[in-house]
A and B are shown apart, each in its own frame.
Chain A
Amino acid sequence: MAKGIWIIVEQNKSEIRKVSLELLSRARELADKAGEPLVAVIAGSGIADLAAKVTPYGADKVILIDDEKLAEYTTGAYTSALNKLIRKEEPQAVLLGNTAVGKDLAPRLAQRLGVGMASDCTGMEADDENFLSFKRPIYGGKAFAEVAANARPVLATIRPNTFPVAEPDASRKAEIVNEQADIDAADLRAIVKEVAIAVSARPELIEADIIISGGRGMKGPENYKILEDCADVIGAAVGASRAAVDAGWIDQKFQVGQTGKTVSPTLYIACGISGAIQHLAGMGSSKVIVAINKDPEANIFTLADYGIVGDLFEVVPLLTEEFKKLAS
């Protein structure tokens, strides 16, 4: 009996994170090819209802680990519980989103299991030789590495926005299994005291479909309002280049680039960004890139699908108006 491809599903109270649905959708395609069942694993507290939310996206089986100790994500408790379950069930692959949780949990699990892991993957294929192989950007997207594991299970984190979410199939049925969380006391040496999620109507940068970013050309912190106004019309996240972050105009959590976030939205609008190699590394995999810059020689134009040579302070508000017209 094949032991399956596992997706560690991330949930936020009642919602399943989009990246988990992306993983389920892609893994569904590969599970058939690899002849493996697809298993969604949901850990948390009071999560019984969530099984029904992942089944339509292709899970053959849903494992629920419902425990108060798992209410908030902590490295120790999640590692402890999942390590034991994985050792017991022996899946062939364990996949997570490359999110704050995935980046924290997957390497820890991999070491404890004594196995390999592929981080921040933007491609995933099934084949006879490797079982699963992964394509991942390195040097901030200036090159790619194709990797596969020698041992099982193989762990991987997949970059959000890499795979489309499939149409849900409400007729699908899945086996639902409840598992106990077996957590070692030794793993509970860190306590989450407080979680502060910034209240923002805008999407999270790494998961956004559209990003509008401002760089050195923004000239000052007060001018980000222009981008925010535009972002709110088209449901975009706001980003920034390192130049703007280093100038102190915007918090570093908005930085896109080799020393910031790596993003691959459907549309990336770069305003007053010259296109330093480190910035391109962080957004070069965007599907469509728009550049607005007053310098016609700016490097960003060499990879933008659409460009406007002009003053962003003039062009962006006009563009916002045009987007409003399209929306109405």
Chain B
Amino acid sequence: MNIVVTIKQTFDTEAKIALDGKGGIDASGVNLVINPYDEFAIEEALKLKEKFGGEVTVVSVGGDKIETSVRTALAMGCDKAVRVDDPALADADEWAVAEALAKAIAKLPYDIVLAGRIAVDDGSGQVAVRTADALGIPSVGSILKLDVDGDTATVTREIDGGTELIEVKLPAVLTAQKGLNEPRLPSMKGIMGAKKKEISVQTLADIGLSAADATPKMRAPKYSLPSPRKGGKVIPGEAADAARELARLLREEAKVI
């Protein structure tokens, strides 16, 4: 089975966010990690490989600095990687990234494409679904369970208030929700072995796109920080008195009960 996993490098969720003075997000001193949801996708890919054999290829879009994350995926057990890197992708939006991923994936043999359901940085949750459409294959989002039998995947996916059981013909894009599995850590041997694995760096031209094909559909975002929330009042007194006072305040002052 040929499995593709798309990953994105994101800030550690511990990171405090600041602006850099030029209107961008300040990335200095921030720990860069594999998007946590993409780790679920990697784990699921490795489990499929362990079950059915085959190869797991990591595909990602980004510059040199994402190499550490791609290498980490290889250390976890993925076999090889494709990194699409092109100056024309510097301001890429979800549309452009999906186009690039789809073109890079289309060059590979693939039976299944796994991705995280959302990235914890921009939180847009678009790229994997868009990639499926660009590839002309079905997608199922937010999966909690996956069984593959021949050319069919049976998937449990999270919907509002419950779950859905979906049968989908492969190849398909599946996006991983927390709960799908527990991602493994790379082992020491995996880390030592990762540097011997191939990361193929490809430009837009290599995957058959022009710079114009990657023109963003969205304008450059303007960033701002939320106004800090101020702590309010701590209600003093014994538990019973404090609870009574809180209930009163919620009704009379905040008017939310």
* A–B direct contact (CB < 8 Å): yes
A289 contact set on B, CB distance < 8 A? 229
User: Which residues, 169 to 204 on A, are CB-close (under 8 Å) to B?
Assistant: 186-187, 189-198, 200, 204
A267 to B17, CA, bound (A): 25
Q: Smallest distance from the beta carbon of B28 to chain A beta carbons, Å?
A: 15
> Contact mask B140-180 → A, CB, 8 Å, 1/0?
11100000000000100011111111111100100000110
Q: Is the CB of B133 within 8 A of A139?
A: no
Tell me whether A247 is interfacial, beta carbon within 8 Å: no
Docked pose: A247 CA to B216 CA in angstroms: 42
C-alpha gap A315/B235 in the complex (Å): 12
Q: Does B110 contact A (CB under 8 A)?
A: no
- Contacting pair A304 B125 (CB below 8 A): no
Tell me whether A146 and B232 are in contact (CB under 8 A). no
Beta-carbon contact of B242 and A116 below 8 Å: no
In the complex, the answer to whether B239 meets A310 with C-beta atoms within 8 Å is yes
Number of interface residues of A (CB under 8 A): 96
Interface residues of A in 239-266 (CB under 8 A from B): 251-253, 255, 258-260, 262, 266
Q: How far is the CB of B30 from chain A (nearest CB, A)?
A: 10
Which chain A positions have C-beta within 8 A of B17? 139, 142-143
Q: Chain B interface: which of A29-37, A46-54, A97-105?
A: A97-105
Name the residue among B36, B233, B243 with the largest chain A CB count within 10 angstroms.
B243
Residues of A with C-beta under 8 A to B129: 75, 104, 107-108, 111
B229 contacts across to A, CB distance below 8 A: 284, 289, 302-303
- Kindly provide the distance from the CB of B26 to the nearest chain A CB, expressed in whole angstroms: 10
Bound complex: CA A120 to CA B11 (Å): 19
A302 touching B218 in the complex, CB below 8 Å, given contacts A196-B163, A259-B36:
no
Nearest CB in chain B: distance from A110 CB, A: 7
**Judging by beta carbons under 8 Å apart, are B256 and A287 in contact?**
yes
Contact of B222 among A101, A115, A146 (CB under 8 A): A146
Tell me how far the C-beta of B189 lies from the nearest C-beta in chain A, rounded to whole angstroms.
Answer: 27
Q: Mark B62-96, 1 if CB is under 8 A from A, else 0.
A: 00000000000000000000000000000001110
- Cross-chain contact of B247 among A145, A287, A319 (Cβ < 8 A): A319
Cα–Cα, bound, A76→B132 (Å): 11
Choose among B123, B140, B254 the residue that contacts A137 (Cβ–Cβ < 8 A).
Answer: B123
B208-250 contacts to A, CB under 8 A, are 216-219, 221-226, 229-235, 239-240, 242-244, 246-247, 249-250
Instruction: State how many angstroms separate the Cβ of B223 from the closest Cβ of chain A.
Output: 6
Contact across chains for A147 and B178 when beta carbons are under 8 A apart: no
Given contacts A140-B123, A315-B243, 19 further A-B contacts (CB under 8 A): A75-B140, A100-B141, A111-B98, A114-B95, A120-B124, A142-B15, A142-B16, A142-B226, A144-B225, A144-B226, A189-B137, A189-B172, A190-B166, A207-B160, A253-B179, A277-B16, A301-B234, A302-B229, A323-B247
Closest 4 CB pairs of A and B: A116-B217, A322-B247, A197-B162, A318-B243
A-B contact pairs, 23 of them (CB 8 A): A103-B141, A104-B129, A111-B133, A114-B217, A116-B95, A116-B216, A116-B217, A117-B124, A139-B25, A140-B120, A145-B222, A146-B222, A146-B224, A192-B164, A193-B166, A195-B162, A197-B161, A198-B162, A253-B179, A258-B13, A304-B231, A304-B232, A318-B244
- Chain B residues with a Cβ under 8 A of chain A: 11, 13-17, 19, 25, 36-37, 93-95, 98, 120-127, 129-134, 136-142, 154, 158-169, 172, 178-179, 216-219, 221-226, 229-235, 239-240, 242-244, 246-247, 249-251, 254, 256-257
